[in-house]
Amino acid sequence: MTPQHHLPADIERTSMGIITEELAQRGLEIPPENAAVVKRVIHTTADFDYAVNLHFTPGAVAAGVAAVRGGATIITDTNMALAGITKPGLAKLGGQALCFMADPAVAAAAKEAGTTRAVAAMHKAAREYPAAVLAVGNAPTALLAIADEIENGLRPALVIAVPVGFVNVVESKERLFAACMQYGVPAIAAMGRKGGSNVAAAICNALVYQAAEMLDPKARGWQ
């Protein structure tokens, strides 16, 4: 085997070209405003199902880009998703990413309420960062907590709803997306069972790269 490319920037550009070509071959047309997000998720997962599974409320990507361009905080439900979000891009925009899952106060609140840390973490996010981007890649209970908060008046900048699994995953995404549609909250959701912390991070990065004008890897300092 002779590798076609060696440099990271070349590899990413070639990968995105292959993704664009295969989407066309499959007859999958992605609205231009959503293309960077969909392609970034496919690039991360090598799974073209996301071209169909990813659902967007009207203007969701534009709202997310505007939020992170304005320095909005991103809050994740796992430290894995947190680790995957581009820090140089956020720094360029004056933003930050946080995860409250290891916060002792969150653990105590979850124990007292008899619920999960993910639920307690999202309630903390709603109190302290009501205009945040909320990125959920693991916990369906986090989505249910966010839906409750939205019904009670929370208006986050964007909800990324992409938990993976078999128990309450499909239902939580459907409820969250319906609540966002009803109350005008921007949302991106991977409907069905697929998702994960890597998908949550990929969507966040797609938004950050657009906001910071770093879609091309050369703009990230790659050679």
Active centre residues (catalytic): 43
- Cβ-based neighbours of 222, under 8 Å, separated by 6 or more: 7, 8, 9, 12
Identify the burial level of 192 via C-beta atoms within 10 angstroms of its C-beta, where 0-12 means exposed, 13-18 middle and 19 or more buried: middle
Tokens read off for 212: 């910071």
CA end-to-end distance (rounded Å), the chain: 23
Rounded alpha-carbon distances, angstroms, from residue 61 to 51, 54, 114, 143, 149 = 15, 12, 35, 19, 21
